[in-house]
Amino acid sequence: MPPVEVTILIPAFNEAGRIERAVRESLVRLESEGAPGEVLVVDDGSTDATATIVLGLAAEDARVRLHRLPGNRGKGGAVRAGVFEARGDIVFVLDADLSTPTSSIGDALPHLRDGADVVTGSRHCAGASVLRRQGILRRSLGKGFLLLARRIADPRSTDITCGFKGFRRAAATAIFHRVTVDGWAFDAETALIARRLGLVRREVRPHADLVIVDAPATGHGVGLLAAPALVSEAIGGGPLGRLAGEVAEFVGDPARTAVVVAALAEEMPVQEALELFAMMRERLGRTPDLVAVNGLYPPFPTATVGAGSREQGAGGAIELWRQRRAMNERELERLAAACQGPLARIPLFPESPGPALVRQVADVLAGAIAPQEPR
Protein backbone atom coordinates (compact mmCIF):
# COMPACT_ATOMS: atom_id res chain seq x y z
CA MET A 1 0.00 0.00 0.00
CA PRO A 2 1.51 3.40 -1.00
CA PRO A 3 2.26 5.84 1.84
CA VAL A 4 -0.47 8.34 2.74
CA GLU A 5 0.65 11.77 3.92
CA VAL A 6 -2.73 13.54 3.93
CA THR A 7 -6.24 12.33 4.68
CA ILE A 8 -9.09 14.70 3.80
CA LEU A 9 -11.93 13.61 6.08
CA ILE A 10 -15.45 14.64 5.04
CA PRO A 11 -18.28 13.87 7.50
CA ALA A 12 -21.52 13.52 5.56
CA PHE A 13 -25.18 13.16 6.50
CA ASN A 14 -27.63 13.20 3.58
CA GLU A 15 -25.20 15.09 1.30
CA ALA A 16 -26.11 13.39 -2.00
CA GLY A 17 -26.43 16.75 -3.73
CA ARG A 18 -22.97 17.98 -2.71
CA ILE A 19 -20.67 15.08 -1.90
CA GLU A 20 -19.40 14.40 -5.43
CA ARG A 21 -18.17 17.96 -5.86
CA ALA A 22 -16.52 17.90 -2.43
CA VAL A 23 -14.69 14.64 -3.18
CA ARG A 24 -13.56 15.66 -6.66
CA GLU A 25 -12.28 19.05 -5.50
CA SER A 26 -10.45 17.34 -2.64
CA LEU A 27 -8.72 14.98 -5.07
CA VAL A 28 -7.63 17.92 -7.21
CA ARG A 29 -6.29 19.66 -4.09
CA LEU A 30 -4.19 16.61 -3.17
CA GLU A 31 -2.66 16.68 -6.65
CA SER A 32 -1.99 20.42 -6.63
CA GLU A 33 -0.27 20.18 -3.23
CA GLY A 34 1.83 17.22 -4.36
CA ALA A 35 0.59 15.28 -1.34
CA PRO A 36 0.09 11.50 -1.56
CA GLY A 37 -3.23 11.09 0.17
CA GLU A 38 -6.79 9.89 0.37
CA VAL A 39 -10.29 11.30 0.63
CA LEU A 40 -12.23 9.57 3.41
CA VAL A 41 -15.99 10.13 3.55
CA VAL A 42 -17.68 9.14 6.81
CA ASP A 43 -21.37 8.49 6.08
CA ASP A 44 -23.16 9.35 9.31
CA GLY A 45 -26.22 7.15 8.75
CA SER A 46 -27.47 8.90 5.62
CA THR A 47 -30.86 7.91 4.25
CA ASP A 48 -30.24 9.26 0.74
CA ALA A 49 -27.77 8.25 -2.01
CA THR A 50 -24.65 9.69 -0.31
CA ALA A 51 -23.00 6.29 0.19
CA THR A 52 -23.86 5.09 -3.33
CA ILE A 53 -22.28 8.17 -4.88
CA VAL A 54 -19.12 7.80 -2.82
CA LEU A 55 -18.83 4.10 -3.71
CA GLY A 56 -19.05 5.07 -7.38
CA LEU A 57 -16.26 7.61 -6.93
CA ALA A 58 -14.19 5.01 -5.08
CA ALA A 59 -14.55 2.67 -8.05
CA GLU A 60 -13.06 5.41 -10.25
CA ASP A 61 -10.23 6.40 -7.91
CA ALA A 62 -8.57 4.19 -5.30
CA ARG A 63 -7.79 7.27 -3.19
CA VAL A 64 -11.49 7.58 -2.28
CA ARG A 65 -12.76 5.53 0.67
CA LEU A 66 -16.13 5.27 2.42
CA HIS A 67 -16.61 4.53 6.11
CA ARG A 68 -20.25 3.95 7.04
CA LEU A 69 -21.71 4.36 10.50
CA PRO A 70 -24.74 2.21 11.38
CA GLY A 71 -26.80 5.20 12.46
CA ASN A 72 -26.72 8.98 12.76
CA ARG A 73 -24.32 9.81 15.59
CA GLY A 74 -23.80 13.50 14.89
CA LYS A 75 -20.92 15.39 13.35
CA GLY A 76 -18.64 14.93 16.35
CA GLY A 77 -19.16 11.19 16.31
CA ALA A 78 -18.55 11.02 12.56
CA VAL A 79 -15.32 13.02 12.79
CA ARG A 80 -14.09 10.92 15.71
CA ALA A 81 -14.74 7.69 13.80
CA GLY A 82 -13.02 9.11 10.74
CA VAL A 83 -9.91 10.15 12.66
CA PHE A 84 -9.33 6.56 13.78
CA GLU A 85 -10.05 5.23 10.29
CA ALA A 86 -7.70 7.72 8.56
CA ARG A 87 -4.35 6.51 7.19
CA GLY A 88 -2.66 9.88 6.70
CA ASP A 89 0.09 11.41 8.81
CA ILE A 90 -1.94 14.65 8.55
CA VAL A 91 -5.74 14.70 8.82
CA PHE A 92 -7.92 17.56 7.54
CA VAL A 93 -11.61 17.82 8.40
CA LEU A 94 -13.61 19.49 5.64
CA ASP A 95 -17.37 20.17 5.51
CA ALA A 96 -19.20 18.61 2.56
CA ASP A 97 -20.68 21.96 1.53
CA LEU A 98 -17.14 23.37 1.08
CA SER A 99 -18.07 26.38 3.20
CA THR A 100 -14.31 26.55 3.68
CA PRO A 101 -12.74 25.95 0.24
CA THR A 102 -10.14 23.25 -0.36
CA SER A 103 -7.59 26.00 -1.02
CA SER A 104 -7.38 26.41 2.77
CA ILE A 105 -5.59 23.05 2.85
CA GLY A 106 -2.80 24.74 0.92
CA ASP A 107 -2.66 27.44 3.61
CA ALA A 108 -2.61 24.98 6.49
CA LEU A 109 -0.38 22.21 5.17
CA PRO A 110 2.95 24.10 5.53
CA HIS A 111 2.17 24.79 9.22
CA LEU A 112 1.52 21.12 9.95
CA ARG A 113 4.60 20.04 8.02
CA ASP A 114 6.55 22.64 9.99
CA GLY A 115 5.59 21.22 13.37
CA ALA A 116 2.19 22.64 14.33
CA ASP A 117 -0.06 20.06 15.98
CA VAL A 118 -3.41 21.65 15.11
CA VAL A 119 -4.45 24.21 12.47
CA THR A 120 -7.98 25.60 12.41
CA GLY A 121 -9.80 27.83 9.98
CA SER A 122 -11.19 31.17 11.06
CA ARG A 123 -13.89 33.35 9.55
CA HIS A 124 -13.05 36.14 12.01
CA CYS A 125 -9.27 36.55 11.84
CA ALA A 126 -7.86 39.49 9.86
CA GLY A 127 -8.60 39.22 6.15
CA ALA A 128 -11.18 36.42 6.39
CA SER A 129 -14.51 36.77 4.61
CA VAL A 130 -17.97 35.19 4.63
CA LEU A 131 -20.10 35.47 1.48
CA ARG A 132 -23.03 33.21 2.43
CA ARG A 133 -24.44 34.52 5.69
CA GLN A 134 -26.74 32.55 7.94
CA GLY A 135 -30.03 33.91 9.22
CA ILE A 136 -29.91 36.63 11.88
CA LEU A 137 -31.25 34.32 14.63
CA ARG A 138 -28.68 31.61 13.90
CA ARG A 139 -25.89 34.21 13.64
CA SER A 140 -26.87 35.70 17.01
CA LEU A 141 -27.01 32.29 18.72
CA GLY A 142 -23.74 31.34 17.06
CA LYS A 143 -21.99 34.47 18.29
CA GLY A 144 -23.26 33.84 21.79
CA PHE A 145 -22.00 30.26 21.77
CA LEU A 146 -18.67 31.38 20.28
CA LEU A 147 -18.10 33.91 23.08
CA LEU A 148 -18.98 31.34 25.73
CA ALA A 149 -16.86 28.61 24.11
CA ARG A 150 -13.86 30.92 23.77
CA ARG A 151 -14.07 31.89 27.42
CA ILE A 152 -14.24 28.26 28.55
CA ALA A 153 -12.19 26.39 25.95
CA ASP A 154 -9.57 28.67 24.37
CA PRO A 155 -9.62 32.49 24.59
CA ARG A 156 -6.94 32.63 21.87
CA SER A 157 -9.27 31.16 19.25
CA THR A 158 -11.18 33.57 17.03
CA ASP A 159 -13.50 30.93 15.52
CA ILE A 160 -13.82 27.69 17.51
CA THR A 161 -16.85 26.53 15.49
CA CYS A 162 -15.28 26.75 12.01
CA GLY A 163 -15.65 23.35 10.32
CA PHE A 164 -12.16 23.35 8.77
CA LYS A 165 -9.43 21.76 10.89
CA GLY A 166 -6.09 20.06 10.35
CA PHE A 167 -4.23 17.76 12.73
CA ARG A 168 -0.99 15.88 12.86
CA ARG A 169 -1.89 12.23 13.37
CA ALA A 170 -0.50 11.98 16.91
CA ALA A 171 -2.37 15.12 17.96
CA ALA A 172 -5.63 13.94 16.37
CA THR A 173 -5.39 10.59 18.14
CA ALA A 174 -4.63 12.20 21.50
CA ILE A 175 -7.53 14.66 21.17
CA PHE A 176 -10.23 12.33 19.84
CA HIS A 177 -9.48 9.59 22.37
CA ARG A 178 -10.71 12.18 24.88
CA VAL A 179 -13.60 13.74 22.91
CA THR A 180 -17.01 12.72 24.27
CA VAL A 181 -19.41 15.07 22.45
CA ASP A 182 -21.06 13.59 19.35
CA GLY A 183 -23.01 16.69 18.29
CA TRP A 184 -22.01 19.98 16.71
CA ALA A 185 -20.50 21.33 19.97
CA PHE A 186 -17.58 18.90 19.64
CA ASP A 187 -15.55 21.78 18.11
CA ALA A 188 -15.34 23.52 21.47
CA GLU A 189 -14.37 20.29 23.23
CA THR A 190 -11.52 19.64 20.78
CA ALA A 191 -10.20 23.17 21.35
CA LEU A 192 -10.33 22.70 25.13
CA ILE A 193 -8.55 19.34 24.97
CA ALA A 194 -5.88 20.68 22.62
CA ARG A 195 -5.25 23.57 24.99
CA ARG A 196 -4.99 21.30 28.04
CA LEU A 197 -2.58 18.99 26.19
CA GLY A 198 -0.37 21.98 25.39
CA LEU A 199 -0.51 21.35 21.64
CA VAL A 200 0.85 23.90 19.17
CA ARG A 201 -2.16 25.48 17.47
CA ARG A 202 -2.41 27.99 14.61
CA GLU A 203 -5.22 29.66 12.68
CA VAL A 204 -5.44 30.27 8.95
CA ARG A 205 -7.89 32.15 6.78
CA PRO A 206 -9.11 31.22 3.27
CA HIS A 207 -7.62 32.70 0.10
CA ALA A 208 -9.15 35.85 -1.32
CA ASP A 209 -12.42 35.48 -3.18
CA LEU A 210 -12.02 36.17 -6.90
CA VAL A 211 -14.23 38.60 -8.82
CA ILE A 212 -13.83 38.01 -12.56
CA VAL A 213 -14.45 41.10 -14.72
CA ASP A 214 -14.53 40.51 -18.49
CA ALA A 215 -12.89 43.55 -20.09
CA PRO A 216 -15.29 43.90 -23.09
CA ALA A 217 -18.14 44.36 -20.57
CA THR A 218 -16.56 47.64 -19.45
CA GLY A 219 -18.70 49.34 -16.85
CA HIS A 220 -20.99 46.42 -16.02
CA GLY A 221 -18.59 44.61 -13.71
CA VAL A 222 -17.35 47.81 -12.09
CA GLY A 223 -20.93 48.94 -11.60
CA LEU A 224 -21.72 45.75 -9.70
CA LEU A 225 -18.62 46.17 -7.52
CA ALA A 226 -19.45 49.81 -6.81
CA ALA A 227 -23.17 49.21 -6.10
CA PRO A 228 -22.85 48.30 -2.38
CA ALA A 229 -21.11 51.60 -1.59
CA LEU A 230 -23.81 53.54 -3.47
CA VAL A 231 -26.56 51.68 -1.60
CA SER A 232 -24.84 52.31 1.72
CA GLU A 233 -24.55 56.04 1.01
CA ALA A 234 -28.15 56.29 -0.20
CA ILE A 235 -29.74 54.39 2.71
CA GLY A 236 -27.43 55.38 5.52
CA GLY A 237 -28.23 53.58 8.78
CA GLY A 238 -30.45 50.62 9.44
CA PRO A 239 -29.86 46.91 8.86
CA LEU A 240 -29.80 47.14 5.04
CA GLY A 241 -27.47 50.12 5.06
CA ARG A 242 -25.09 48.42 7.48
CA LEU A 243 -25.10 45.24 5.38
CA ALA A 244 -24.37 47.24 2.22
CA GLY A 245 -21.52 48.96 4.06
CA GLU A 246 -20.06 45.59 5.09
CA VAL A 247 -20.20 44.35 1.48
CA ALA A 248 -18.61 47.59 0.25
CA GLU A 249 -15.74 47.15 2.72
CA PHE A 250 -15.33 43.55 1.62
CA VAL A 251 -15.19 44.46 -2.09
CA GLY A 252 -12.80 47.34 -1.50
CA ASP A 253 -10.34 45.36 0.62
CA PRO A 254 -7.57 43.74 -1.51
CA ALA A 255 -6.86 41.34 1.36
CA ARG A 256 -10.32 39.82 0.95
CA THR A 257 -11.33 40.37 -2.68
CA ALA A 258 -9.04 39.94 -5.67
CA VAL A 259 -10.30 41.44 -8.95
CA VAL A 260 -9.24 39.56 -12.09
CA VAL A 261 -9.73 41.14 -15.52
CA ALA A 262 -10.00 38.81 -18.52
CA ALA A 263 -8.92 40.25 -21.87
CA LEU A 264 -7.53 39.43 -25.31
CA ALA A 265 -4.16 40.85 -26.45
CA GLU A 266 -5.79 42.70 -29.35
CA GLU A 267 -6.17 46.43 -29.93
CA MET A 268 -9.87 46.91 -29.13
CA PRO A 269 -10.07 44.56 -26.08
CA VAL A 270 -6.89 46.10 -24.65
CA GLN A 271 -8.30 49.61 -25.11
CA GLU A 272 -11.46 48.52 -23.29
CA ALA A 273 -9.34 47.02 -20.53
CA LEU A 274 -7.43 50.28 -20.11
CA GLU A 275 -10.74 52.15 -19.82
CA LEU A 276 -11.85 49.62 -17.22
CA PHE A 277 -8.62 50.21 -15.22
CA ALA A 278 -9.35 53.94 -15.17
CA MET A 279 -12.95 53.34 -14.12
CA MET A 280 -11.81 51.04 -11.31
CA ARG A 281 -9.42 53.69 -9.98
CA GLU A 282 -12.16 56.34 -10.10
CA ARG A 283 -15.07 54.35 -8.65
CA LEU A 284 -13.37 51.69 -6.51
CA GLY A 285 -10.05 53.31 -5.62
CA ARG A 286 -8.12 50.23 -6.76
CA THR A 287 -6.70 48.48 -9.82
CA PRO A 288 -6.92 44.80 -10.89
CA ASP A 289 -4.92 42.27 -8.92
CA LEU A 290 -4.42 40.18 -12.06
CA VAL A 291 -5.08 40.40 -15.79
CA ALA A 292 -5.69 37.04 -17.49
CA VAL A 293 -4.78 37.36 -21.16
CA ASN A 294 -6.38 34.68 -23.35
CA GLY A 295 -5.65 33.37 -26.83
CA LEU A 296 -1.95 34.22 -27.15
CA TYR A 297 -0.34 32.95 -30.35
CA PRO A 298 2.71 30.74 -29.69
CA PRO A 299 5.62 30.52 -32.18
CA PHE A 300 4.46 28.95 -35.45
CA PRO A 301 5.04 25.17 -35.51
CA THR A 302 7.28 25.20 -38.60
CA ALA A 303 7.79 21.43 -38.50
CA THR A 304 4.20 20.96 -39.68
CA VAL A 305 4.72 22.93 -42.94
CA GLY A 306 5.05 20.68 -45.99
CA ALA A 307 7.31 21.13 -48.99
CA GLY A 308 6.75 21.72 -52.71
CA SER A 309 3.40 23.02 -53.82
CA ARG A 310 2.07 23.26 -50.24
CA GLU A 311 4.66 25.88 -49.23
CA GLN A 312 3.04 28.64 -51.28
CA GLY A 313 -0.34 28.08 -49.63
CA ALA A 314 1.19 27.79 -46.20
CA GLY A 315 3.20 30.97 -46.60
CA GLY A 316 0.16 33.21 -46.17
CA ALA A 317 -0.94 31.34 -43.05
CA ILE A 318 2.55 31.61 -41.57
CA GLU A 319 2.69 35.34 -42.21
CA LEU A 320 -0.78 35.88 -40.70
CA TRP A 321 0.27 33.81 -37.66
CA ARG A 322 3.41 35.93 -37.22
CA GLN A 323 1.40 39.15 -37.51
CA ARG A 324 -1.01 37.95 -34.83
CA ARG A 325 1.86 36.99 -32.57
CA ALA A 326 3.51 40.40 -33.07
CA MET A 327 0.19 42.09 -32.26
CA ASN A 328 -0.10 39.99 -29.09
CA GLU A 329 3.37 41.08 -27.93
CA ARG A 330 2.65 44.75 -28.69
CA GLU A 331 -0.68 44.75 -26.84
CA LEU A 332 0.80 42.83 -23.91
CA GLU A 333 3.29 45.67 -23.47
CA ARG A 334 0.41 48.18 -23.34
CA LEU A 335 -1.38 46.10 -20.72
CA ALA A 336 1.75 45.62 -18.62
CA ALA A 337 2.46 49.37 -18.64
CA ALA A 338 -1.06 50.21 -17.42
CA CYS A 339 -1.71 47.37 -14.96
CA GLN A 340 0.01 47.39 -11.58
CA GLY A 341 -0.70 43.68 -11.05
CA PRO A 342 0.74 40.64 -12.85
CA LEU A 343 -0.34 39.23 -16.21
CA ALA A 344 -1.34 35.58 -16.56
CA ARG A 345 -0.62 34.46 -20.14
CA ILE A 346 -2.90 31.72 -21.51
CA PRO A 347 -1.95 30.29 -24.95
CA LEU A 348 -4.28 29.95 -27.91
CA PHE A 349 -3.64 26.25 -28.49
CA PRO A 350 -2.97 24.51 -25.18
CA GLU A 351 -0.99 21.30 -25.32
CA SER A 352 -3.26 19.42 -22.92
CA PRO A 353 -6.98 20.34 -23.27
CA GLY A 354 -9.63 19.14 -20.84
CA PRO A 355 -9.40 18.84 -17.03
CA ALA A 356 -5.60 19.04 -17.16
CA LEU A 357 -5.85 22.46 -18.86
CA VAL A 358 -8.36 23.68 -16.27
CA ARG A 359 -5.92 22.76 -13.49
CA GLN A 360 -3.05 24.38 -15.41
CA VAL A 361 -4.95 27.66 -15.85
CA ALA A 362 -6.07 27.55 -12.21
CA ASP A 363 -2.44 27.15 -11.12
CA VAL A 364 -1.43 30.15 -13.27
CA LEU A 365 -4.15 32.30 -11.73
CA ALA A 366 -3.48 31.10 -8.17
CA GLY A 367 0.26 31.60 -8.56
CA ALA A 368 -0.16 35.12 -9.92
CA ILE A 369 -2.14 36.24 -6.87
CA ALA A 370 0.05 35.33 -3.91
CA PRO A 371 -2.10 34.87 -0.79
CA GLN A 372 -1.18 36.92 2.26
CA GLU A 373 0.53 35.13 5.10
CA PRO A 374 -1.94 33.64 7.60
CA ARG A 375 -2.27 35.67 10.79
Q: Is 97 a catalytic residue?
A: no
d(CA 59, CA 52): 11
d(CA 39, CA 331): 44
d(CA 187, CA 286): 39
Alpha helices in the chain (DSSP H): 19-32, 50-60, 75-85, 103-113, 136-152, 169-176, 186-196, 220-235, 238-252, 267-283, 309-338, 355-368
CA distances from 332 to 218, 221, 291, 325, 347 (A): 19, 22, 10, 10, 13
Catalytic residue among 159, 187, 289, 363: 187
Instruction: Give Cα 150 distance to the centre of its chain.
Output: 27
Establish how many alpha carbons lie within 13 A of residue 219's alpha carbon, considering only the half-sphere containing its beta carbon: 0
326 CB-contact burial (10 Å; exposed 0-12 / middle 13-18 / buried 19+): exposed
Intra-chain end-to-end CA distance of the chain, in Å = 37
Catalytic residues: 187
